Structure 1
């Protein structure tokens, strides 16, 4: 699974319209978020660092809810945008999530454990866990 990392508002208009998971590496304005949703109609998740997520208005949260876009807190630790514009979730993490799910471990426990062991936030782990087509 790939997470598209956006490091400036200038990148939003050049995004692939099929993007599903996006991480803002800058503090987006309401206008940036509206533009992103308009540019990427298949968008499922917007991820923001903890310090930025607190600054997002309730109106934007409600707008994303209506668009069925999840808004989650998290980071892409160690990602270098100059090397690759996508952060790829390691297949080992996805395999671990799959096997824990098959063992019948509760979703909350999986999210907590995998988030602690990996560079993913609990919200992103929950999103991956709930995807029907785990890659």
Structure 2
């Protein structure tokens, strides 16, 4: 799975309209969020570092909720934007998630265990688990 990393508001207009998961590496304004949703109509998740999420207005949180877009706290550890604009969840992590799901382990237990191992937020792991099997 790929997460599109956006490091400045200037990049929003150049995003692919088919993006589903975006990590904002800057503190977005309300205008930035509106523009992001308008530019990427298929958006399902917006991920923000915890310090940025704490400063997001309640009205923007409600707007994203009304658009059925999840707001997730988290980081893309070790990602270098100058090398690739996408952070790719390692295949080893995806395989572990897939194997645990096949073994019948409950999603919340998988999310708890894998968040410690992979540095991904539990909500992001739950999102991965709830995707169609072909996308997993």
Tell me which residue corresponds to 2:94: 94
Following superposition of structure 1 onto structure 2, how do residues 121-132 of structure 1 map, counting pairs within 5 Å?
A: 121-132=121-132
Structure 2 gaps of 5+ residues are: none
State the Cα deviation string for residues 103-125 of structure 1 (Å, max 9, x = none): 11111111111010012111111
Distance 1:104 1:60 in 2: 37
- Give the length in aligned residue pairs: 135
Tell me which residue corresponds to 2:113: 113
Tell me which residue corresponds to 2:47: 47
RMSD in angstroms over aligned alpha carbons? 0.9
Deviant stretches of 4+, over 4 Å:
none
Tell me which residue corresponds to 1:71: 71
Alpha-carbon contact 1:12-1:36 (below 8 Å) kept: yes
SS in 1 for 2:104: coil
SS in 1 for 2:120: coil
Structure 1 residue 101: Cα displacement: 1.1
Structure 1 gaps of 5+ residues are: none
For normalisation by structure 2, the TM-score amounts to 0.96
State the Cα deviation string for residues 56-92 of structure 1 (Å, max 9, x = none): 1111111111111111011000000000000001111
SS in 1 for 2:26: coil
Alpha-carbon contact 1:94-1:134 (below 8 Å) kept: no
